[in-house]
């Protein structure tokens, strides 16, 4: 059991998300940076889909009631156990009563904390992930608050491990995010598409798990910015009338009526999710074959990361 002493600005319970609910308007949720989340679980000796915490810009302070292993990954933030500096991207073995504090992110946005066994909140529609706007899943459908108590499932005592240096993603100052143009790229002028690919775009502070709102060169439409509503894929980039792109993420609306210029590859969703408000980024177009190749490469890296999966994922 863990007791939350300070939740941080927005800390939610997440697992790998729920599927099959978008046709009812319920998004998958789950971690924005899947890779960091999965590695945290492996370091804590968990299956990849065990429920842990996603923290935003700053981590929580919490105390564990019993001995337990945890791991902190994702954005670069200072971690202390009972006031002494502790490692990120490594297994931390905690004793009963230990207090962990995760500070403000120096680079990146989303910090992940995995607990051996995983957090035990009731699954909703097959997942423990929190969908904040829908007040669904997680702990009462909301972000953590001070004095919340989270039970843990019985877990292993993993042999302490450290992620290899190559497995820790570099948080670049101006990342290049790879996109496939479409499905409505034909609704923009050639200059509009050129402006989009030239960038750079700055991450706006109102970005959240629903969408990354960006500000930069105006993307001009050729013929209106509305379409008959259709489905919104993960990473779809909507451009409303103001010509500023919005990248839709894990808590996105299922459908929408704005033109979509391109889609961010699933392999780069985690990278865009680590771009801080005020930080800049650019887009680069790749074709579909290249996107598939990049996805396979991303999956191969993840398959081997932190010693590979601890146990097979439960059938979803």
Partner 1 sequence: MALCVELGDEISAEVNTRVRALEFLIQAKGFPGVVETVPTFRSLLVYYDPGQVAFEALCAGLGELAEQATTATLPPARLVELPCCYDAELGPDLVAAAERLGLTTDELVRLHAGAEYVVYFVGFTPGLPYMAGVPERIRLPRLPTPRVKVPAGSVGLGGAQYCIYSVESPGGYWLLGRTPVRLYDPEAVEPTLLRPGDRVRMRPIDRAEYDAIAAGVAARTYTPVIA
Cα separation, 153 vs 268, whole angstroms: 31
Hey, what are 285's tokens? 């177009």
Question: Which 145-204 residues touch partner 1, going by CB under 8 A?
Answer: 183
Cα separation, 274 vs 32, whole angstroms: 9
- CB 2, CB 63: distance < 8 Å: yes
Q: How many residues does the chain have?
A: 316
Interacting stretch for partner 1, rule CB under 8 A, among 22-30, 92-100, 195-203, 275-283?
A: 22-30
Q: Which of 1, 9, 19, 67 binds partner 1 (CB under 8 A)?
A: 19
Residue closer to partner 1 by CB (options 190, 228) is 228
Residue 187, classed as helix, strand or coil, is helix
Q: Which of 63, 80, 93, 253 binds partner 1 (CB under 8 A)?
A: 253
Q: What are the CA-CA distances from residue 311 to residues 48, 49, 113, 286, 314 (Å)?
A: 8, 10, 19, 34, 9
Q: Total residues at the site for partner 1 (CB under 8 A)?
A: 33
Residue 126 in contact with partner 1, rule: CB under 8 A: no
In 32-115, DSSP assigns E strands to 52-56, 61-64, 68-76, 79-81, 84-86, 91-94, 99-102, 107-115
Residue 35 makes CB contacts below 8 A (sequence gap 6+) with 169, 270, 298, 301, 302, 305
Q: DSSP label at 138?
A: T
Q: Which of 82, 226, 292, 297 binds partner 1 (CB under 8 A)?
A: 292
H/E element, 100 = strand 99-102
Residue 222 in contact with partner 1, rule: CB under 8 A: no
Residue closer to partner 1 by CB (options 244, 253) is 253
Residue closer to partner 1 by CB (options 24, 165) is 24
Minimal distance, residue 228 CB to partner 1, in Å: 5
Question: Which 28-87 residues touch partner 1, going by CB under 8 A?
Answer: none
Minimal distance, residue 117 CB to partner 1, in Å: 26
The contact pattern for partner 1, residues 260-289, with x = CB under 8 A and - = no contact, is ---x--x---------------------x-
The contact set with partner 1 (CB under 8 A) reads 19-20, 22-26, 124-125, 133-136, 141, 183, 228-234, 253-256, 263, 266, 288, 292, 295-296, 299
């Amino acid at each position: 059991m863990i007791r939350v002493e300070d939740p941080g600005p927005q800390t939610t319970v997440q697992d790998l998300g729920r599927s099959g609910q978008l046709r009812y308007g319920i998004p998958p949720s789950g971690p924005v940076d899947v890779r960091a989340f999965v590695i945290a679980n492996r370091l804590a000796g968990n299956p990849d889909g065990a429920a842990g915490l996603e923290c935003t810009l700053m981590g929580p302070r919490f105390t564990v009631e019993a001995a337990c292993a945890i791991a902190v990954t994702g954005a670069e933030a200072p971690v202390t156990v009972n006031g002494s500096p502790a490692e990120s991207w490594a297994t931390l073995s905690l004793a009963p009563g230990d207090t962990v504090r995760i500070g403000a992110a120096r680079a990146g946005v989303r910090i992940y904390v995995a607990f051996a066994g995983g957090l035990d909140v009731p699954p909703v529609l097959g997942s423990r992930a929190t969908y904040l706007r829908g007040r669904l899943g997680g702990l009462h459908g909301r972000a953590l608050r001070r004095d919340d108590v989270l039970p843990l499932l019985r877990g292993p005592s993993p042999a302490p491990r450290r992620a290899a240096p190559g497995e820790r993603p570099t948080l670049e100052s101006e990342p290049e995010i790879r996109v496939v143009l479409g499905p409505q790229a034909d609704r923009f002028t050639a200059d509009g598409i050129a402006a989009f690919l030239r960038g750079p775009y700055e991450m706006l502070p109102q970005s959240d798990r629903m969408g990354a709102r960006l500000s930069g060169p105006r993307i001009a439409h050729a013929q209106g910015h509305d379409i008959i509503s259709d489905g919104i894929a993960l990473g779809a980039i909507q451009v409303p009338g103001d010509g500023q792109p919005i990248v839709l993420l894990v808590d996105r609306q299922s459908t929408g009526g704005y033109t979509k210029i391109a889609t961010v590859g699933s392999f780069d969703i985690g990278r865009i999710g680590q771009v801080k408000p005020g930080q800049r980024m650019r887009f680069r177009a790749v074709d579909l074959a290249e996107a598939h190749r990049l996805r396979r490469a991303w999956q191969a890296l993840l398959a081997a990361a932190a010693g590979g999966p601890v146990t097979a994922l439960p059938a979803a």
